[in-house]
Amino acid sequence: MKVSILGTGRMGKGLVNNLLPHLEELRWGSRSVQRLTELIQGHAYRSKIVPVDYVEALEADVIIHAFWFRDVLPWARANRDKLSGKIMVDIANPFTEDFNDFVTDWGTSAAEELQKLLPDTKVVGAFKNTFFKVLEEPLHQGLRSDVYVTGNDEEAKRTVMELIEPAPFRVWDGGRLCNNRTIERMTLFEREVAVRYGNYPYVSFRMFGMNE
Ligand SMILES: NC(=O)c1ccc[n+]([C@@H]2O[C@H](COP(=O)([O-])OP(=O)(O)OC[C@H]3O[C@@H](n4cnc5c(N)ncnc54)[C@H](OP(=O)(O)O)[C@@H]3O)[C@@H](O)[C@H]2O)c1
């Protein structure tokens, strides 16, 4: 299975560092392949990384984007045909610029909007509640945090769960894509509380009572 991660920002880097050790090869995409090539010099798993642009990154079975919601929509629209039949993992939280609200309506979510735009692509939501600092240090007092994986295509959701499983997170079946209406709102609430208590951005969820 070929996997691509798109974007070299905070989440892109964190996802690469957590998923790459368990993959044979990863296509890592950026608007600037030159900048990316410099970035991965000296990376512990350099030999497994194929630096690519956002067109070459489409040559994968599973494509994980680490773009902002405002940027993923035009990119997805422009590449709709090439994304057909593939699994697209969506991590976006569609917050307003001031992080006080959502740019999406109540009755939808970023993941669903992406799925509407890409009807022939299997959109799977994941990592929405995991702030970037947690990707840098995934264990807190020896405990892993939760990643809720959602999708309307059961097989695609299972594929993504298996992909994440070796990484240091508890991976849960989060149900259908519409659950992202809740999951994405949980992230904004989580952020607000963490800011109030001085923990932001080292914050993620761990559901009490669930088995390891
Ligand atoms: N930050 C968090 O803790 C967190 C937690 C959970 C979910 N998320 C979600 O993860 C996504 C990424 O967040 P982030 O904090 O990693 O953002 P970021 O650091 O700003 O990175 C975004 C990346 O998107 C790429 N990109 C592609 N097209 C772009 C464009 N037109 N303009 C600007 N950048 C573009 C860039 O990579 P290249 O320069 O390599 O092209 C950029 O580094 C967001 O949707 C956010 O809601 C974030």
- Render pLDDT for 129-159 as a digit per residue (tens, 0 to 9): 999 999 999 999 999 999 999 999 999 999 9
User: How far, in Å, from the CA of 155 to the mean position of ligand 1?
Assistant: 27
Residue whose CB lies within 8 A of the most ligand 1 atoms, among 4, 6, 11, for a mutation test: 11
| Domain assignments of the chain as residue spans, ordered by start | 3-196
Beta bridge partners of 88: 63, 123
Helix (H/G/I), strand (E/B), else coil: 132? helix
Q: What kind of architecture, by CATH, is found in domain 3-196?
A: 3-Layer(aba) Sandwich (3.40)
pLDDT at 211: 86
Taking CB atoms and a 6 Å cutoff, what residues make up the pocket around ligand 1?
7-12, 30-31, 66-69, 71, 91-93, 127-128, 130-132, 201
Number of H helices, E strands in the chain: 7, 8
Cα separation, 160 vs 192, in Å, equals 29
Give me the mean pLDDT over the 158-186 stretch. Answer: 98
Q: Hey, whose CA ends up nearest to atom 30 of ligand 1?
A: 71
Q: What is the mean pLDDT of the chain?
A: 98
In angstroms, the Cα distances linking 201 to 10, 46, 198 are 12, 27, 9
From the alpha carbon of 134, which atom of ligand 1 is closest?
3
